[in-house]
């Protein structure tokens, strides 16, 4: 029984109001001032993202064969791991002709990864693939790919990276290709338009 009294006294001491408590008058006035400033700035800034004209209908009209496929580092490494032929597998997945495109950021990222990814680097340097030069600083391929996809809605993004997939899904009208269960799969590719 003596123990319970000690605990009660300890709890009574903890009930003292702190300096930052919202019930104090000076803190209430400071909160009102910050809310007034925030309300005035919210009314002024309104940004509505511009939607691409190719997304006028429910599907992306800019996507037509031959498809342009932006390839990521992760996608290349999974292709090598599953021992797949990249161009043939893409054509089997899309049922159309396609052009794999590699940015200079992806090549630089593969070179940084070292000897473990030398086969993927050799595949990336193949002359059949189209190359895009990047005009920005740094070699972070995910930002580069997302930036290109936001500007031009003519690409299919080939990646297995979860974060990049999450970022690309926020961009309307851009399909994502990935490697799963020994084959390429594609999500959000629109059906052919009905005439």
- pLDDT tens over the chain, length 195 residues: 566 655 555 555 566 677 777 778 788 888 888 877 666 555 555 676 677 777 766 678 888 889 999 999 999 999 999 999 999 999 999 999 999 999 999 999 999 999 999 999 999 999 999 999 988 887 789 999 999 999 888 999 999 999 999 999 998 889 999 999 999 999 877 664 444
Same domain, 169 and 91: yes
Same domain, 87 and 154: yes
Beta bridge partners of 69: 100, 156
Question: What does the angle CA 93 – CA 99 – CA 105 come to, to the nearest 5 degrees?
Answer: 110
Domain count along the chain = 2
Question: What does the angle CA 73 – CA 74 – CA 79 come to, to the nearest 5 degrees?
Answer: 100
- The answer to the question of residue 33 being in a domain is yes
Global confidence as pTM: 0.70
Provide the H-helix boundaries in the chain: 2-14, 25-44, 73-81, 86-94, 104-113, 118-124, 141-151, 162-169
Same domain, 25 and 67: no
Tell me the residue range of the domain where 146 lies.
62-187
Which residue in 89, 82, 133, 83 sits closest to 107, CA to CA? 133
- The answer to the question of residue 57 being in a domain is no
Same domain, 99 and 165: yes
Q: What per-residue confidence (pLDDT) applies to 160?
A: 96
Same domain, 87 and 179: yes
Same domain, 118 and 170: yes
Q: What per-residue confidence (pLDDT) applies to 195?
A: 43
Q: Which long-range contacts (CB under 8 A, 24 or more apart) does 89-92 make?
A: 89/183, 89/184, 90/158, 90/177, 90/184, 92/183, 92/184
- The answer to the question of residue 176 being in a domain is yes
- The answer to the question of residue 180 being in a domain is yes
Same domain, 37 and 132: no
């Amino acid at each position: 029984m003596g123990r319970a009294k000690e605990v009660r006294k300890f709890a009574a001491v903890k009930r003292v109001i702190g300096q930052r408590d919202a019930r104090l008058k000076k803190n209430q006035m400071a909160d009102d001032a910050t809310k007034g400033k925030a309300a005035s700035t919210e009314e002024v800034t309104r940004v509505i993202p511009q939607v691409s004209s190719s997304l006028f209908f429910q599907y992306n009209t800019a996507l037509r064969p031959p498809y342009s496929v932006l390839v990521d580092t992760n996608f290349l490494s999974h292709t090598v791991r599953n021992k797949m032929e990249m161009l043939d597998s893409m054509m089997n997945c899309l049922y159309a002709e396609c052009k794999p495109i590699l940015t200079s950021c992806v090549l630089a990222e593969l070179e940084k990864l070292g000897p473990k990814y030398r086969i993927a680097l050799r595949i990336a340097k193949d002359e059949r693939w189209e190359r895009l030069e990047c005009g920005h600083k740094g070699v972070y391929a995910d930002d580069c790919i997302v930036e290109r996809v936001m500007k031009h809605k003519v690409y299919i993004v080939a990646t297995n990276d979860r974060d990049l997939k999450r970022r690309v899904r926020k961009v309307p009208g851009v399909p994502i290709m990935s490697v799963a269960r020994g084959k390429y799969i594609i999500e959000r590719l629109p059906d052919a338009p009905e005439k």
